[in-house]
Amino acid sequence: MASNRKMTIDEQVDYLIQGADYGDERLKGAMATELKERLLEAEKENRPLRVYCGYDPTAPDLHLGHTVTMRKLSQFQELGHEVIFLIGDFTSLIGDPSDKDNLRPRLSPEQVAHNGMTYAEQSFKILDPEKTVIRHNAEWLSKLTFEDLIHLSSNFTVGQFLTRDNFAKRFQKNEAIYLHEFYYALMQGYDAYTLDADVQVGGSDQLFNIITASRKLMTSLGKKPNIGIIMSILPGTDGEIRMSKSLGNHIAITGDPKDMYGKIMSIPDKAMGIYARLVTRWTPNEIFELESRLSQGDLHPKEAKMSLAREIVSIYNGQPAAEEAEAEFVRVFQEQGQPETMADYKLQSGQTVLDVLEKSGLTDSRSQAKRLIQQNAVRLDEKKLDNPHAEFPGKGVLQVGKRRFIRIV
């Protein structure tokens, strides 16, 4: 966490650029230079920077990967800047194609409203609610006329959009690219213009929308272009593929603290650095010290990972819960025991192994349950269960993987 000592401007730039990924070191350097200039300008004018990130509420629950940009907004708050949490209630109705190789399904207004409310609530596990401004982009986007849209569109060429990786892949496969998908970048740029943003935060899948569309649109409409802080994408518990609930490699931020701790302990050692940079409160100096001790052999990787798990769990559940989760982890996995307490599940007549795994909540889906059974990761009182369609054997302690236990009664 940022210390109470006031950071120098250079230290602030290092802190705020931490975890950023532009895919081009020259572009990263240019954005860092602009950020320094804007910080100096704001200090001279005795004003905070206006910083925002937009969130399209496509699902009700957030996982750790969703929080990367929120953590960056929180760092700006620590340094006294104005943070705007923008709910994309209008853009959600269209669908952002930025990280998709195909058309994203459109949501209903009711789904968007519900998801938006839960997004904001969950964001306050990271952001200071008293210092966070909540806005909805339907306020201005819904009022644009067809003439406005033509004017905004005239700033871009079709070729610019077809060079984007996701559109290029679909174009090469002769798959449909719908005209409304081009509008998303325009709307995001108009968000930045309307909010008069100094800084826009987003994931690396938003590079085109922020660096090209937003900055160009703001300039053409007579405003100083915002600075893009483009964050790396957090890998899942496999350490390779981006965190995703559908892939089962996610870490829910509203889940059980002990499960969260265990999942963080399961990530590969090579992923510790990116987790430290993207989802902790640690400063660049603190991360540098940890990595230096690791490389010099002064710190064991397991101890470093335990420190990482304790930090992340404490963010969402508090320090006492983090310490309890750590104690449980040590007892179960280092001493090869079972949890002292576990939930009960009432077995129903005729239920299969697959039914119990799904209904008890030990797995997120039937497909994940099948995958775990195939991996020999499901046991009842230490006996492997290898047939998903067999009738469940009976009472006992059901274990899934190394971390999940439930008592079947």
* Largest distance between two CA atoms of the chain: 72
Rg of the chain over all Cα atoms, to the nearest angstrom: 23
Distance CA 178, CA 10 (A): 44
Distance CA 120, CA 199 (A): 20
Domain ranges of the chain: 9-231, 257-334, 344-408
pLDDT digits (tens, 9 = 90+) for 162-211: 877 778 788 888 888 888 788 888 999 999 999 999 999 999 888 888 99
Q: What tokens were used for 128?
A: 């200071």
What SS3 class is residue 47? coil
Predicted pLDDT at 383: 84
Predicted pLDDT at 97: 53
Across the chain, which has 409 residues, the per-10-residue mean pLDDT values are: 71 93 93 96 95 82 88 94 92 60 59 77 88 93 93 88 78 83 88 96 90 92 95 91 83 88 92 93 91 88 93 94 91 68 84 90 84 87 86 87 81
Give CATH superfamily name and number for 344-408.
Answer: RNA-binding S4 domain (3.10.290.10)
pLDDT digits (tens, 9 = 90+) for 119-137: 778 888 899 999 999 999 9
- Phi/psi of residue 13, nearest 5 degrees: -60, -45
**Planar angle of CA 79, 85, 86, nearest 5 degrees:** 145
Strands 82-87 and 378-380, sheet pairing: unpaired
CATH code assigned to 9-231: 3.40.50.620
pTM: 0.75
Residue 340 burial (C-beta neighbours within 10 Å; 0-12, 13-18, 19+):
exposed
What SS3 class is residue 255? coil
Strands 396-400 and 383-384, sheet pairing: unpaired
What SS3 class is residue 289? helix
Residue 92 carries which side chain, given as an amino acid letter? S
Kindly give the residue spans of alpha helices, DSSP state H, lying in 124-271.
138-141, 146-153, 158-162, 165-172, 179-195, 207, 215-220, 257-265
Q: Which residue's entry shows tokens 């008890």?
A: 360
Distance CA 351, CA 391 (A): 6
- Pair 287, 294: CB distance under 8 Å: no
Predicted pLDDT at 95: 57
The CATH class for the domain spanning 257-334 reads mainly alpha
Instruction: Kindly give the interhelix angle for 301-317 and 284-295, rounded to the nearest 10 degrees.
Output: 150
Predicted pLDDT at 219: 94
- Pair 31, 229: CB distance under 8 Å: yes
